[in-house]
Amino acid sequence: MFGNGLAFIARHGKFGLIIGLMAGLALPDLAIILRPWIPEMVALLLFLTAFRIGPREAMGNLGDLRTTAVTALCLQLGLPLLFLFGLWVFGAQFTPLAMAIVLMLAAPSVTGSANFSILLGHDPAPALRLLILGTAILPLTCVPVMYLLPELGGLQATLLAAGRLLVVILIAAVLGFALRHFGFPKLSEERRSAVDGLTVIALAIIVIALMSAIRPAFARDPAELAFWLVAAFAINFGAQIVTYALLKAKGRTDAVPISIVSGNRNFALFFVALSPEITEPLLIFLGCYQFPMYLTPTLLRRLYDPR
């Protein structure tokens, strides 16, 4: 009975994510209560994802790892440097919006990217590999961006935050892989659906915690909130659509998970290194960013599955 309930939640996963978004808006007090538990909830989500995929599928072969490394460098180093070069060429001001775009492009994948791939019916392994490897190389890829932007301040704080996140990811992934390898080497479809249901529940609870800044922002300045909401959709969906078009033109079979990662990044990592003056508007952007992120399986389903 419990397994059937989880399977039902898995089949209707996109609605579970929407319910989480609505709960984040309607229950600000619950969001504040849940916010301190975000690291633990993210670790649980990573554990479930690693368990579902399994070590063999996640690691792939040598060619997969080489492709993942090149992709991570393009996403986390090439794109932010290209954006900064564009600002310099056109003489554009470095506004809070430009700051948000740079931080988003320089960050590794969000922890839920593999789960979004699952909800869209695609292989989650490329997204999980990008999450692990992208976080591992962040201490290297963020150095040129931090050097070019002295406004970002503490490089050391960013490196420490990336290191802590990498440790959490590795511990959760190793535990998930170990349980799968030693306890459930062959995962039945029934159990796989149950795990997918648990991940939907975890995602829905996490998004409630991430939206704690939305209600106060709406009460303070609805117009500013609307600006950041439009910007979040444009940046997130724009990156996904452009990446998908380029990869599909090249015939890449991993176009969907890579495109999901391209638009959904864990830029909150950089917040530990920024001053309160810089992070104040970006906290609103972080909350708004959850909308396109969690609506990806619903609004971009037709793009990623045109059947």
Q: What pLDDT score was predicted for residue 207? A: 82
Among the residue ranges 98-107, 166-175, 249-258, 288-297, the one predicted with the least confidence is 166-175
Q: What pLDDT score was predicted for residue 306? A: 58
| Confidence tier at 9 by pLDDT (50, 70, 90) | confident
Amino acid at position 159, single letter: L
Range with the largest mean pLDDT of 3-12, 32-41, 290-299: 290-299
Tokens read off for 152: 């970002």
| Confidence tier at 32 by pLDDT (50, 70, 90) | confident
Q: What pLDDT score was predicted for residue 273? A: 59
Q: What pLDDT score was predicted for residue 112? A: 83
Q: What pLDDT score was predicted for residue 55? A: 82
- CA–CA gap between residue 26 and residue 36 (Å, rounded): 19
- Please determine, for residue 24, whether its predicted confidence score (pLDDT) is greater than 90: no
| Confidence tier at 212 by pLDDT (50, 70, 90) | confident
Contact residues for 255 (Cβ-Cβ < 8 A; gap 6+): 243, 244, 247, 248
Q: What pLDDT score was predicted for residue 242? A: 96
The model carries a pTM of: 0.82
- CA–CA gap between residue 274 and residue 276 (Å, rounded): 7
Q: What pLDDT score was predicted for residue 165? A: 67
In tens, the pLDDT along 140-165 reads 888 888 778 766 655 676 677 667 76
Q: Which whole-number Å values give the CA distances from 113 to 28, 76, 123, 259, 297, in the listed order?
A: 25, 15, 11, 10, 10
In the block, residue with structure tokens 């800044």: 213
- Please determine, for residue 239, whether its predicted confidence score (pLDDT) is greater than 80: yes
Q: What pLDDT score was predicted for residue 154? A: 58
In this prediction, residues 95-102 reach a mean pLDDT of 89
| Confidence tier at 236 by pLDDT (50, 70, 90) | very high
DSSP 90-146: HT----HHHHHHHHHHHS-B-TTHHHHHHHTTS--HHHHHHHHHHHHHHHHHHHHHH
- CA–CA gap between residue 293 and residue 289 (Å, rounded): 6
22 compared with 150, residue with greater pLDDT: 22
What CATH number is associated with residue 44?
1.20.1530.20
Q: How many domains does the chain have?
A: 1
Question: Residue 283 sits in which domain range?
Answer: 1-304
In this prediction, residues 103-113 reach a mean pLDDT of 89
Q: What pLDDT score was predicted for residue 17? A: 82
53 compared with 297, residue with greater pLDDT: 297
- Please determine, for residue 62, whether its predicted confidence score (pLDDT) is greater than 60: no
| Confidence tier at 246 by pLDDT (50, 70, 90) | very high
In the block, residue with structure tokens 């396109």: 292
CA 104 to mean position of chain CA atoms: 10
DSSP state of 272: G
In the block, residue with structure tokens 């002295």: 150
